[in-house]
Structure 1
Amino acid sequence: MKNLRTTALLIALSIPFFGKAQKCNYNYLGTKTLYAAPSGKNKSAPVGYQPVFINHVGRHGARHLTKEVNTSFGYRLIMRADSVNGLTSAGKKLKQMILALDKVERGQVKSISAEGKDELQGIGQRMYKWYPQVFGSTPKLNVAITKEVRTKQSADAFLIGLKAGFKEEPKIKEYNDDTDLRFYDASPAYVAFEENGNWQADMKQLQNRLNHVRMYNKIADDWLNKAFMKTLKPDEAEKLVSDVFGFATIVPSLKTEIEKAGVKPSEVDFDNLIGCSDLISLSRIDMLDDYLKKGPGSDVNGIQVRIAVPLLVNFINTTDDFIKSGQVNADLRFAHAETISPFATLLGISGADKVAPDMTNVGETWWSSQVIPLSSNIQWVFYRKDGGNDLLVKVLLNEKEAKITGMDNRNYPYYPWAALRALYMAKLSKLNVGLNDDMVKYLKEVK
């Protein structure tokens, strides 16, 4: 994760959008960045060691919007403006784009897209290709999902890719695990933090530097005539622009669906109605919001990280179960960006666990597009030597070998499991958490 800013800029240059490069040499898609299969080779395991078990958690794939276009504030405001002749020529273009996106999205919200299915199938295929020894003749898999349909769809797509290499149908135990995978919903202290936490001071500092109120009004002024602009309430320009920015960032996930709907790419090219400099500013605000509420923020031991403790406990316990019984080949979980980011921080994954020295320029330290793109994932891959008992483990972030803060990295990326487990047990001990504790109770009481 060295030089994250340079890496993200290079990635931005290479991300295709319907066959053309993004017009900005900057990845403004943030958490809606399409998943990129890793390039390059992983380091070979020490001589004699073979992969024997995988512990995995992944975010759902590229998706549709989470609510219908015609229920959004942006839709309602633009239609209201149109009804009183309040749209500029650019505003009329925006109206047509919103209607086109509404046509594409109608009835498909909350689901993963065709792009998302491809992402997850690819990750599953590579898991089998790289670690076939893990799965044996009749693979046994635990598959955990959340209450959201897109995690079930993601699990199904992943398994299609994984099972393509199997000779026999696997035995699969599928179950819902919102406690370990949607912990952010189950903690009253975190919900309060998310709504009114100390992150607000850092956000206000960046917003002031970007002169955000003027920016939102300037963008909205391109779409709404002066008379209608005067009727807006103080926060309505911001709500409108935020919705349109959300439309702009979801479009790359919908290539197949847009084509099937008979819509041309130019008919949903929202970013051309915002402009590159403003897209960059909006993405900086968006990324800082993710960083403060889902990532290291100003405190790597803050509530936004400590809520991920149940998932760490689950990873350790399921690994211990494998060591005792060896009955399951892989534990596979499918969840959300709000799951992956705090877990990556809690694990001490380099590039995902550092407090930024300057919150107005968090991109020097952390990028949402690198940590939690669509289909982002964390894997623990365990290795054992024939006839031996000692386990080695490597940690992967988005299928790339990761360094762990606090570990001896001389044999990176292969860590003795006993040493890594001890590191994480020490973290849990500092939080007064045991492996047999009630995690529902923990989430209710954690402060």
Structure 2
Amino acid sequence: MGRRSLAMLAALILGTVCAAPAGADGSGQSYGTKAIADYFPGGLPPAPGGYRLVFVETLTRHGARGLSSAKYDDLTIKMVESARSRGQLTPAGEQLGVTAQRIAAANVANGYGNLTEAGRRQMRDLASRTAARDREALRGPVALQSSGEPRATASAQAFGAALAAAVPEASVGEPEVRTDLLYFHNTDAAYKSYVKTDPDVAAAVKQVDEAPAAQAAARSILLRAFAEPFVDALADGSSTFVSSDGKTTVRGVVDAANMIYNLYAISPAMAVEGPFDLSSVVRPPDAGAFGFVSDGEDFIQKGPSLAGRDATFAMARPLLVDFLRQAREGTGSLFRFSHAEEVIPFLALLRVPGSDRQLPLGQQFSYAATGWYGFEQSPLGASVEWQVFRDGAGGAQVRMLLDGKPTRYGPSCVPATGFFYALSELERCYS
């Protein structure tokens, strides 16, 4: 289908006559937070007169990775094998099975959850851009921090090695593990309770998953791979599938199609290991519908979430305190490598554009209501950078870059000029 058909489907999802914006490749929205970051290529305005760059610090999501575990590939293969045994597999379904097997084999070879070659290249590219833009602040100590997860540490190492090569005078250290600041979602009790037990969260997520557009897209995907009786059995609950590790159960058509969609969504991150083509089963309008489902769930469970609730982003406050402290006291540079589960809450706490609106209770998630897109807020390799500039009189101004593009701080923060904010103003508005 063309752009017009995709726009019509998006309008159904949104409840308004407007389509989701696309990424640079025309399909960024459909990949959600599994899109690959598109770093801003443009130049930046100079610092105010008398100011020079003295310090930079970042929070970067790890680079492109493979599947985090054997789940989507495993369950897709199980469905294909079951349909084949019943004589209910289409030619496109046969090809889906072959592709799923290849994806599984590639993940076993690379290690589930690990950086792919695209991810390593991405971190080297980010280092090259950083060296060109921030060289003035890179001549001293360069500190690296990691969540401690292998893909975050590997991202830090790939970035650090490339930066050291680009800036020989830099003194690049080994990654320091800071789970407290860079893996807080895994230990915050209030957050875990909120997403697991709050009835309003459950209701909001259910609205997203049960939206008519999601149901229609699910059947559209499944009917390309399987005969109608097989899809009907999924729909009425008479057919379910359990992953090999027993942790995930496919119930219903949205669950089933979501397994296949996630293979589609991860395929750009595994382009070198592939390529993996799922276009015979997952068409652009259906991918857009599932990108919407992914975004809705992430917004509610990780991002700005529901009006009057802060459990999803209050846990990022120690990280914000550290950003402010480093901006005031730090020298050289500090590069932190983490995960979407940290980047999304951090941006929600900052209330940057796109993460500055919560969803009223009872209202269904939509792009029109929230302005929140996963491919903009936390794609693979997303980077939040604070540049600190000082003058000779002790003044300090800060500019924030999101994937290299100048970005506003929250609406209660008043800029000094353009995208530059006095550090004292950030300390005030985020106190």
Considering the TM-score relative to the shorter chain, is it more than 0.5? yes
- Residue 271 of structure 1: SS of its match in structure 2? coil
The structural deviation recorded for 1:121 is: 1.4
- Residue 205 of structure 1: SS of its match in structure 2? helix
Q: Compute the RMSD of aligned alpha carbons.
A: 2.5
Matched residue, 2:179 = 178
Q: Residue deviations 1:36-60, cap 9 Å, x none? A: 1203221211112110011211000
Q: Which piece of structure 1 moves more, 216-225 or 389-398? A: 216-225
Matched residue, 1:248 = 264
Residue 151, structure 1, aligned to residue 158, structure 2:
no
The structural deviation recorded for 1:61 is: 0.5
Residue 32, structure 1, aligned to residue 34, structure 2:
yes
The structural deviation recorded for 1:392 is: 0.9
**Distance in 2 of aligned mates of 1:7 and 1:134:** 41
- Residue 56 of structure 2: SS of its match in structure 1? strand
TM-score, normalisation: structure 1: 0.81
Specify whether residues 227 and 349 from structure 1 end up closer, same or farther in structure 2 by C-alpha distance, changes over 3 A only. Answer: closer
Residue 421 of structure 1, aligned match among 412, 419, 427: 427
**Distance in 2 of aligned mates of 1:381 and 1:239:** 43
The structural deviation recorded for 1:195 is: 2.5
Superposition pairs of residues 396-407 of structure 1, within 5 angstroms? 396-404=401-409, 405-407=411-413
**Distance in 2 of aligned mates of 1:343 and 1:96:** 40
**Distance in 2 of aligned mates of 1:412 and 1:206:** 38
* Contact 2:348-2:356 at 8 Å conserved across structures: yes
Q: Which piece of structure 1 moves more, 346-355 or 69-78? A: 69-78
TM-score, normalisation: structure 2: 0.84
Aligned-partner residue type, residue 144 of structure 2: V
Residue 274, structure 1, aligned to residue 275, structure 2:
no
- Residue 106 of structure 1: SS of its match in structure 2? helix
Q: Residue deviations 1:197-256, cap 9 Å, x none? A: 322322333444425445434532432334544341481533321111010011111121
Q: Which piece of structure 1 moves more, 59-68 or 81-90? A: 81-90
The structural deviation recorded for 1:110 is: 1.1
Identical counterparts, % of pairs:
22
Matched residue, 2:307 = 299
**Distance in 2 of aligned mates of 1:314 and 1:348:** 17
* Contact 1:356-1:362 at 8 Å conserved across structures: no
Superposition pairs of residues 200-279 of structure 1, within 5 angstroms? 200-210=202-212, 212-213=214-215, 215-229=217-231, 230=233, 231-233=238-240, 235-258=251-274, 265=275, 268-279=276-287
Q: Residue deviations 1:106-127, cap 9 Å, x none? A: 2322111111112211221222
**Distance in 2 of aligned mates of 1:169 and 1:133:** 10
Matched residue, 2:75 = 73
Specify whether residues 140 and 26 from structure 1 end up closer, same or farther in structure 2 by C-alpha distance, changes over 3 A only. Answer: closer
Q: Which piece of structure 1 moves more, 207-216 or 158-167? A: 207-216
Q: Residue deviations 1:320-350, cap 9 Å, x none? A: 432xxxxx41111100011111101111222
Matched residue, 1:97 = 99
Specify whether residues 158 and 41 from structure 1 end up closer, same or farther in structure 2 by C-alpha distance, changes over 3 A only. Answer: same
* Contact 1:88-1:223 at 8 Å conserved across structures: yes
Work out the number of aligned pairs and report it.
395
Specify whether residues 166 and 90 from structure 1 end up closer, same or farther in structure 2 by C-alpha distance, changes over 3 A only. Answer: closer
Specify whether residues 106 and 173 from structure 1 end up closer, same or farther in structure 2 by C-alpha distance, changes over 3 A only. Answer: closer
Residue 342 of structure 2, aligned match among 327, 339, 352: 339
Residue 371 of structure 1, aligned match among 370, 377, 402: 377
Runs of 5+ consecutive residues of structure 2 not aligned to the other structure? 1-16, 241-249
**Distance in 1 of aligned mates of 2:169 and 2:78:** 52
Superposition pairs of residues 7-26 of structure 1, within 5 angstroms? 9-11=21-23, 14-15=24-25
**Distance in 2 of aligned mates of 1:7 and 1:58:** 29
The structural deviation recorded for 1:157 is: 1.6
The structural deviation recorded for 1:148 is: 1.4
**Distance in 2 of aligned mates of 1:207 and 1:69:** 19
